Amino acid sequence: DSGVTQTPKHLITATGQRVTLRCSPRSGDLSVYWYQQSLDQGLQFLIQYYNGEERAKGNILERFSAQQFPDLHSELNLSSLELGDSALYFCASSVDLLAPITRYEQYFGPGTRLTVT
Amino acid sequence: LAKTTQPISMDSYEGQEVNITCSHNNIATNDYITWYQQFPSQGPRFIIQGYKTKVTNEVASLFIPADRKSSTLSLPRVSLSDTAVYYCLVGDRGSNYQLIWGAGTKLIIKP
């Protein structure tokens, strides 16, 4: 158990809909990362938040957005869903006290499996 | 952005030593190189991290040459349970915060 929680575990929805994925980081971790992993594909970094502020952006679509709240939990919002958005979505957290951020281990949650039909 | 290159897949046998190399250009001079392991339908898990030369922990060793343009993850005496995907992770030279993940190496261990 990494200490990172994600809800829901599974989500099935239809094309065109909007969903929200939730992540609670490990106690004391200030950074939250979101990743997308399609079937048999590698990890695609989407976005990172540090202490409530957006820090880095990866290959995140304009239909997707995220935020980190004062209690440090984070939500990833996916809208106008398409079949191709079906994937595992992982959240990870780390301490990230100082740069470089590669110095700090990322702890991954169990993921949310999104199926768009 | 920095780029990473890893073999797509590798096969080995139980009890052998396995070495997986990741090539990475344009990484930040002060950044660490990290390797993660991922089993199907699970989040990646940290294996080992280093900055230069050699690092060893209870499960693996990491070799980083002086030019830091590559790194090699070494798994001693692998078992069937080491069958997984292995990712290297580096930072980009142009940004303190941009993470660059390798595409992953699928390692299959045979009996």
For residue A63, pLDDT over 80 is answered with yes
For residue A96, pLDDT over 80 is answered with no
Which residues of A, range 25-84, sit inside 8 Å of B by Cβ? 33, 42-43, 45, 48, 55-56, 58
Chain B partners within 8 Å of A33 (Cβ):
99
How confident is the model over A21-34, as pLDDT tens digits? Answer: 999 999 999 999 99
For residue A11, pLDDT over 70 is answered with yes
- Contact between chains at A103 and B101 (C-beta distance less than 8 A): no
Chain B partners within 8 Å of A113 (Cβ):
41
Q: What is the largest CA-CA distance in chain B?
A: 44
Whether residue A17 contacts residue A83, with contact meaning beta carbons closer than 8 Å, is answered with: no
The pLDDT of residue A98 is: 65
Chain B partners within 8 Å of A111 (Cβ):
41-43
Whether residue A93 contacts residue A105, with contact meaning beta carbons closer than 8 Å, is answered with: no
How far is the C-alpha of A84 from the C-alpha of A87, rounded, in Å? 8
The pLDDT of residue A15 is: 97
The pLDDT of residue A47 is: 93
Please name the member of B32, B97, B103 whose beta carbon is closest to the beta carbon of A42: B103
Q: Which two tokens stand for residue B106?
A: 């699928």
Please name the member of B32, B43, B44 whose beta carbon is closest to the beta carbon of A102: B32
What residue type is A82 in one-letter code? Answer: E
CA distances B61 to A1, A101, B3, B87, Å, are 24, 21, 22, 14
Rounded to the nearest integer, the mean pLDDT of chain B is 91
How confident is the model over A67-92, as pLDDT tens digits? Answer: 999 999 999 999 999 999 999 999 99
How confident is the model over B50-77, as pLDDT tens digits? Answer: 998 899 999 999 999 999 999 999 999 9
The pLDDT of residue A99 is: 65
Average pLDDT over residues A84-103: 85
- Asked if A103 reaches chain B (Cβ–Cβ under 8 Å), the answer is yes
Tally A–B CB contacts below 8 A: 74
How confident is the model over B82-96, as pLDDT tens digits? Answer: 999 999 998 876 665
